[in-house]
């Protein structure tokens, strides 16, 4: 049960106790999913043709659960690469006019997830150079780890985002529901250290683990 917004805490807790305490605790246990997707052993490509004004190039990398120890480092990598206007991909593709927008986010989940990183390109423009830059910068991140300045900027952005969410009951409610589903709602952004102290999970962003999708 999650309650978000401006409310009388004592009265709300009393009502919750009155109406929910009479519901018996389930005796069953949630089943453990036994189906696990096999390890991908090579690049996969998807090409979708449709009508529209834009083209989208997306790289999808399979990652472990959102509560895996690598998850927070992956979030740092994502923001360093895809943030606007300070991200590496924004500077390489948007500021040079090759792309109109950068997208990037790990899809949260308790089981294995997909990390999407991509670019929006105007209809009719060549997508091959954009695709090449995307792959080069993303998969070359391990050879160019984040600087202290980048990590501090990402850490501050995460703190500011969390603070802004607290001012919006709908936003914080939805966010908390996601973390409740994961089973862990703690913030670990302060625990991510420099690459010298904690190797970032670059093995996740490898050619053998990529799903290369183009929508044009």
pLDDT tens for 8-62 read: 999 999 999 999 999 998 888 878 777 777 777 778 888 888 888 899 998 888 8
Confidence at 199, pLDDT banded by 50, 70, 90: very low
Mean pLDDT lowest for which of 82-96, 107-121, 176-190? 176-190
Q: If you average pLDDT over each of 29-38, 91-100, 113-122, which comes out highest?
A: 91-100
Q: What is the mean pLDDT of residues 134-157?
A: 85
Q: What does each C-alpha distance from 92 to 99, 131, 150 come to in angstroms?
A: 9, 12, 16
Output the pLDDT for position 201. 52
Output the pLDDT for position 145. 81
Task: Decide if pLDDT at 198 tops 60.
Answer: no
Count how many Cα atoms sit within 13 Å of the Cα of residue 84 in the half-sphere of its side chain.
Answer: 13
Residue 145: strand, helix, or coil? coil
Q: What does DSSP assign to residue 95?
A: T
Q: If you average pLDDT over each of 86-100, 141-155, 193-207, which comes out highest?
A: 86-100
Instruction: In whole angstroms, give the CA distance from residue 78 to residue 14.
Output: 42
The DSSP secondary structure of 46-86, one letter per residue, reads EEE---SSEEEEEEEEEE--TTSTTHHHHHHHHHHHH-TTT
- pTM score: 0.73
Q: Where are the domains of the chain?
A: 9-215
Output the pLDDT for position 102. 95
**CATH architecture of the domain with range 9-215:** 2-Layer Sandwich (3.30)
Q: What does each C-alpha distance from 71 to 3, 10, 31, 104, 114 come to in angstroms?
A: 27, 36, 24, 15, 12
Q: What is the mean pLDDT of residues 186-198?
A: 49
Confidence at 185, pLDDT banded by 50, 70, 90: low
């Amino acid at each position: 049960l999650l309650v978000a917004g401006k409310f009388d805490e004592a009265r709300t807790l009393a009502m919750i106790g009155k109406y929910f305490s009479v519901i018996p605790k389930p005796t069953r246990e949630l089943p453990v999913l036994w189906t696990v997707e096999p390890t991908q052993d090579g690049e996969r490509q998807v090409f979708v043709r449709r009508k529209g004004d834009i083209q989208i190039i997306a790289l999808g990398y399979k990652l472990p659960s959102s509560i895996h120890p690598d998850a927070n480092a992956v979030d740092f990598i994502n923001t360093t690469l895809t943030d606007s206007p300070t991200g590496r991909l924004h500077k390489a593709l948007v500021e040079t006019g090759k792309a109109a927008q950068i997208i990037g986010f790990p899809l949260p989940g308790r089981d294995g997830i997909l990390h999407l990183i991509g670019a929006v390109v105007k209809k009719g423009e060549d997508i091959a150079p954009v695709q090449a830059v995307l792959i080069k910068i993303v998969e070359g991140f391990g050879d160019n780890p984040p600087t202290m300045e980048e990590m501090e900027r990402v850490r501050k952005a995460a703190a500011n985002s969390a603070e802004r969410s607290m001012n919006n009951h709908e936003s914080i409610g939805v966010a908390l529901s996601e973390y409740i589903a994961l089973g862990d709602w703690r913030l670990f952004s302060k625990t991510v250290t420099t690459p010298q102290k904690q190797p970032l999970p670059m093995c996740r962003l490898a050619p053998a683990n990529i799903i290369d999708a183009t929508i044009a």
